[in-house]
Structure 1
Amino acid sequence: MELDLESQCWLFFSLLKGVGPRKISRLLSEFSTLTEVVNADRSRLRQLGLSSEQISAVDDFVCAREPELYRQHRDRIQTWLQHPSNTLLHQNHPDYPAQLLQIYDAPLVLFAVGDCTRLMLPQLAMVGSRRASPAGLDAAYHFARELSRGGITITSGFAYGIDTRAHQGALLGSGGTIAVLGTGADVCYPAQNRKLFDTLPENGVIVSEFPLGTAPQARQFPKRNRLISGLAAGVLVVEASLKSGSLITARTALEQNREVFALPGSIQNPMAKGCHQLIKQGAKLVDDVYDILDNWQSLFSFQIQLCQSRPSVRIESDHSAAPKLESMPAKSQGDLTEREQALLNVMGYDIEIPDQLIARASAPAHEVMQDLVMLELKDYIESVSGGYRKRM
């Protein structure tokens, strides 16, 4: 696939120093396309806010005297676009996500890997700690899987921890997942996520606003966060400390008029304190997927309207009503003995040490230890560092 002239113009302006979304919006209030802009009378461009240096750069672009940086970037994109799953989107492209156009400082261009029409489907962002607890990781995977099975696309940031588990869980459902990178769309970071990076576009999209080849740098990730919340109708914070970057995403979501949800955790878990703070400040407490699914229509109504305004995207009829979870066999507890069931009933989802369980069950130590082994074999609990934990 070759870059058409309009796409080249958007790419050029995205790299032109001092030109951002507001200046582009001003230009497009007078002209229909950026192709018209680069061919317009220069005095009119000056009146619309372009500096002499910027107009000189436009002249060089029109006369094919572009800076070496632009030519290198354009040629790299041309090669990248040879793969059929890769797309360069600009704000006038029919597949550019309409909900992003509603936020401040929407990117002029996006690099997408996968079916880019998914970017306009109803989405819920899931974010949380890179150093999450086992319970937090399980919750992220469980919620993402079930919400995706309900037809909701899960959007996250491809980081370690909560993000990674959310993507992995969402891939198991029809909703799929969107990974918003803080690097170029062709850069896998963290490197240990290579398998996920390679397989995700089969049921999702990798998207980035950063030029191809952009390596990870700390300042890029807060900027990425506004796209995670901007693409979605709401943000679910699964587990976060008081200093977590996830709270930045939550704040950005509020500024973008998106819903914020938070999953409560143990009062003894420092990685849950950020969620508890959000709940105190008005975030909606979520402890079940139906807390979101039952409010599906109101939560995603604005995204559905925006999707239907774009000719390239069609919301199928089964998305017009609240989604249904795919049928899953419920885990039967009929295989437990009375003693095993009693022990399971006194266990929580936090890590429990055997001495606590022995005291709580009021049973001999050897019986409790035998029952713990059987519960683990029957997949009701798991052995973790420090003790045992009930599976979700």
Structure 2
Amino acid sequence: MPSDTDAWLTLARAPGLGATLAGRLLDRYGDAGAVLAAGPAAWREAGVPAAAREAMAHPDEAALARDRSWLERPDADLITRDDPRYPAALRDSAQPPPWLFALGDTDLLAVPGFAIVGSRNPTPAGLAHARDFGAAMARAGFAVVSGLAAGIDTAAHEGALEADGMTIAVCGTGLDRVYPARNRDLARRIAARGLLVSEFVPGTEPRPGHFPRRNRVIAGLCVGTLVVEAARTSGSLITARLALEAGREVFALPGAVDNPLARGCHRLIREGAKLVESSADILEEIAPQLAPAPENPPRRAAETDTGTAPDDDYRRLLDALRGGPATVDTVVERTGLTAEAVSSMLLIMELRGLVAPTSEGAFQRTGDARAAGASDDS
């Protein structure tokens, strides 16, 4: 029987398992060790892909040894969903990851988080705004949460650090990697004075599909999200929509009508996000949100329900999967949408149960997924 840590690491390393399926297994069996003890027949019945079943039955001992070695660092940790340190806000969000790898001060997970996200290629004014809002929210006692990306994310983290405040970076890689590489020094300073978290095991390289998943964790950790400069197809918009879905407040900074990086913010404002000009606007709005929230917060009227009435882009994406599993690149080719937009939409559709990932890194409609599971003899 593997140790508790090895059992969690084995699940985290199982290809194609995913947070939703892992969560269902944990709900059924109780903990990671019990999931592994259930055996291949039970895993197959639960819909676990063949590659994941193989990895769970025959764990990669060398990889587990590397993971254990990384966890021996004094500032490294693995926080599972049954750990009392697991953040309550994230637990109450859509598709919470069953585990988080952490580097730094895990006490920050108990501090109310506020997300600041936006373009990787902002204007100088956008950078200044992100830095100022990061500093102001940190001084107000929030942990400023962002994604360690270039541009707005970097400025938000820097603003919080400059204010001697708290900041959390949610990463789309393993925590022994830094993406983009030019943010290595920033990542080091955050690990020393704040916290880095990721649902991805050490050694995981950056991949396009990881960043929408990172965005859902950013949204889930926070009581509110501010978008500073975002194009209409920006990945920051998925963070905002996931925040709305979790019942959290979303704010957007308006810009000049001829600035393409203001269009995403203006779209959010039209859909119900709150227009802000200063941190006081945010603090006035979210102060009541720090009280316990109702169990089932009402959905926003402006929210698009892809489960019942997908818009044209979602219909195009579903049509692109009609012939069977397809990779993000294939969907991009078939729909004409950007890779970032496709990755973001696939995440929302996975959360709604419309599509499912395969162990080969492709996606398929859920009806096709069930059929594939029924005919899989491996």
TM-score (ref. length: structure 1): 0.68
Match of 2:254 in 1: 264
Q: Which runs of 5+ in 2 are unaligned?
A: 296-378
- Which of 34, 41, 54 pairs up with 1:36? 34
Match of 2:186 in 1: 196
Per-residue CA shift, 1:300-331, capped at 9, x if unaligned? 3348x9xxxxxxxxxxxxxxxxxxxxxxxxxx
Match of 1:333 in 2: none
Is 1:86 matched with 2:76?
yes
Secondary structure in structure 2 of the residue aligned to 1:294: helix
1:223–1:32: structure 2 CA closer, same or farther, 3 Å change rule?
closer
1:12–1:168: structure 2 CA closer, same or farther, 3 Å change rule?
same
**Which residues in structure 2 correspond to 1:76-225 (within 5 Å)?**
76-173=66-163, 175-225=165-215
Deviation at 1:232, TM superposition (A): 0.9
- Which of 277, 288, 291 pairs up with 1:301? 291
Deviation at 1:179, TM superposition (A): 0.6
Per-residue CA shift, 1:6-32, capped at 9, x if unaligned? 222122122334544444444444544
- Which of 3, 6, 13 pairs up with 1:5? 3
Q: How many residues get paired?
A: 294
Per-residue CA shift, 1:318-353, capped at 9, x if unaligned? xxxxxxxxxxxxxxxxxxxxxxxxxxxxxxxxxxxx
CA distance in structure 1 between the partners assigned to 2:105 and 2:272 by the alignment = 35
Secondary structure in structure 1 of the residue aligned to 2:179: coil
CA distance in structure 2 between the partners assigned to 1:94 and 1:20 by the alignment = 22
CA distance in structure 1 between the partners assigned to 2:36 and 2:4 by the alignment = 10
Deviation at 1:205, TM superposition (A): 0.7
Match of 1:372 in 2: none
CA distance in structure 1 between the partners assigned to 2:39 and 2:73 by the alignment = 38
1:165–1:17: structure 2 CA closer, same or farther, 3 Å change rule?
closer
Per-residue CA shift, 1:221-263, capped at 9, x if unaligned? 1221111111111110011122222112112222222211001
**Which residues in structure 2 correspond to 1:8-27 (within 5 Å)?**
8-17=6-15, 19-27=17-25
Is 1:275 matched with 2:268?
no
CA distance in structure 2 between the partners assigned to 1:260 and 1:146 by the alignment = 17
**Which residues in structure 2 correspond to 1:342-353 (within 5 Å)?**
none
CA distance in structure 2 between the partners assigned to 1:121 and 1:178 by the alignment = 10
Could you list the runs of 4 or more consecutive aligned residues of structure 1 that deviate by over 3 angstroms after TM superposition?
A: 17-32, 36-58
Q: Is the 8 A contact 1:167 1:177 kept in 2?
A: yes
The letter of the residue matching 2:239 is T
Deviation at 1:131, TM superposition (A): 1.1
Deviation at 1:220, TM superposition (A): 1.7
1:77–1:302: structure 2 CA closer, same or farther, 3 Å change rule?
farther
**Which residues in structure 2 correspond to 1:306-325 (within 5 Å)?**
none
CA distance in structure 2 between the partners assigned to 1:130 and 1:52 by the alignment = 37
Q: Is the 8 A contact 1:9 1:34 kept in 2?
A: yes
Give the fraction of aligned pairs with identical amino acids, expressed as a percent.
44
CA distance in structure 1 between the partners assigned to 2:149 and 2:55 by the alignment = 37
1:17–1:140: structure 2 CA closer, same or farther, 3 Å change rule?
closer
Match of 1:355 in 2: none
Secondary structure in structure 2 of the residue aligned to 1:287: coil
TM-score (ref. length: structure 2): 0.70
Secondary structure in structure 2 of the residue aligned to 1:110: strand
CA distance in structure 2 between the partners assigned to 1:53 and 1:226 by the alignment = 25
- Which of 233, 241, 253 pairs up with 1:243? 233
1:280–1:77: structure 2 CA closer, same or farther, 3 Å change rule?
same
Per-residue CA shift, 1:50-97, capped at 9, x if unaligned? 689877765x4xxxxx34xx3232111111122111111221222222
1:28–1:242: structure 2 CA closer, same or farther, 3 Å change rule?
closer
Give RMSD over aligned pairs: 2.7
Q: Is the 8 A contact 1:10 1:108 kept in 2?
A: no
CA distance in structure 1 between the partners assigned to 2:65 and 2:238 by the alignment = 35
Deviation at 1:120, TM superposition (A): 2.9
Per-residue CA shift, 1:153-207, capped at 9, x if unaligned? 1100111111100000011335411111111111111121122111112321111
1:27–1:236: structure 2 CA closer, same or farther, 3 Å change rule?
same
Q: Is the 8 A contact 1:180 1:224 kept in 2?
A: yes
CA distance in structure 1 between the partners assigned to 2:110 and 2:90 by the alignment = 9
